[in-house]
Amino acid sequence: MDLAGLRLAADALVAGKLVAFPTETVYGLGANALDEEAVLSIYKVKGRPGDNPLIVHLAHTGLIPTVVADIPPMAVLLIERFMPGPLTLVMRRGPSIASAVSAGLDTVAVRCPSHPVAQAFLSMAGVPVAAPSANLSGRPSPTYARHVMEDMGGKIPFVIDGGACEVGLESTVLDVTGDVPVLLRPGAVTADQIREACGVTPRRSSGTAQGPVRSPGMKYRHYAPRATVLVGVGRSLAARARHTAELVQEEVAAGHRVGVFAAARAILLIREMQKAAPDGEWPVRLISYGELDDSVQASVRLFDAFHPLDASGVDRIVVQSLPEKGLGVAYMNRVHKASAHKTGE
């Protein structure tokens, strides 16, 4: 989209319309965060529960004081280190932000995306923009504009195409309202990086909640394709590849059409199984994220893999697990949310 198109989209957003736009993490579904009715329309279009708060996106960090009541010293350090970028901070909400953004809570989640198209769009809009991921509630997040169109086509007036999302997973969400930061949702900014930046190790949230929540991604099933997701697990790369292949074999034997998202080693094992299949009957669709335990490529491609696998008509998707360290923590968080913790064991 050219500058004239961005201006049209920005003007529409200010006027109360919804606009999907790219960020470095995933595509967002934006509304004017100062307009209560516009924000409520996000929940309606997505089919999103009203107690699941949104994230406010700003063009630059200098605007943060306009949407929060105060900025804790710890937050200042984190803003200087990680913004703009894939970090969201939960702070006390300022009076200007529509109540629906925070699902009625006294806090607000804020971030400044680093994607140049997002920055240009937000600057043109000139208002804070509330935005969850631009997909139907519970479905995989979109990392390309075409993914947005699959879920949102005909439901919203503008989709800004900014190409592929660099990170591929939603932002890290960190609650900094207390003395110890709380990691509400893991992402590309890791717990170790947060500790290095502010000198305090963040406490991990349990990841689930029965009452009000301060962050998206905590209370409901998220990131899930239509197919049932199973996870290949193990203590080593070889064991994870083997279990992934075994799950595929079991599901095919049970009469299922199977999609696979795994490292090259598991893909090779599955192809060997295919050679032994009678009459070449092997209803399996394979997508590899590369060699070894590559958490960067696996994270970038996870949601992008879910979309074509779903479209191919599979009813099972087997995903190879990664060690839960570094970016692997965020990757496995999304995999577990999508699978409802089904490991096939």
User: What is the reported pLDDT for 211?
Assistant: 55
| Residue 139 Cα to chain centre, angstroms | 10
The H or E element spanning position 242 is helix 237-253
- CA-based max dimension of the chain: 67
User: What pLDDT shows up at residue 232?
Assistant: 97
The pLDDT assigned to 107 comes to 97
What end-to-end distance do the CA atoms of the chain give, in Å? 47
Q: pLDDT tens for residues 258-297?
A: 999 999 999 999 999 988 877 667 899 999 999 888 999 9
Spatial distance between the Cα atoms of 98 and 104, rounded to a whole number of angstroms: 9
47: alpha, beta or left? (left if phi > 0; alpha if psi -120 to 50): left
What's the mean pLDDT in 223-247? Answer: 95
pLDDT computed for residue 281 by the predictor: 72
Cis before 84 (ω within 30): yes
Query: Can you identify the CATH homologous superfamily of domain 3-204?
Result: DHBP synthase (3.90.870.10)
- Topology of the domain covering 228-339: Rossmann fold (3.40.50)
What does the alpha-carbon distance between residue 63 and residue 31 come to, in Å, rounded to a whole number?
A: 17
| Sequence ranges of the domains in the chain | 3-204, 228-339
pLDDT tens across 135-179, in order? 999 899 999 999 999 999 899 999 999 999 999 999 999 999 999
Other beta carbons within 10 Å of 297: 15
The pLDDT value recorded for residue 205 is 84
Do 3-204 and 228-339 come out as alike in CATH topology? no
**Would you say residue 51 has pLDDT above 90?**
no
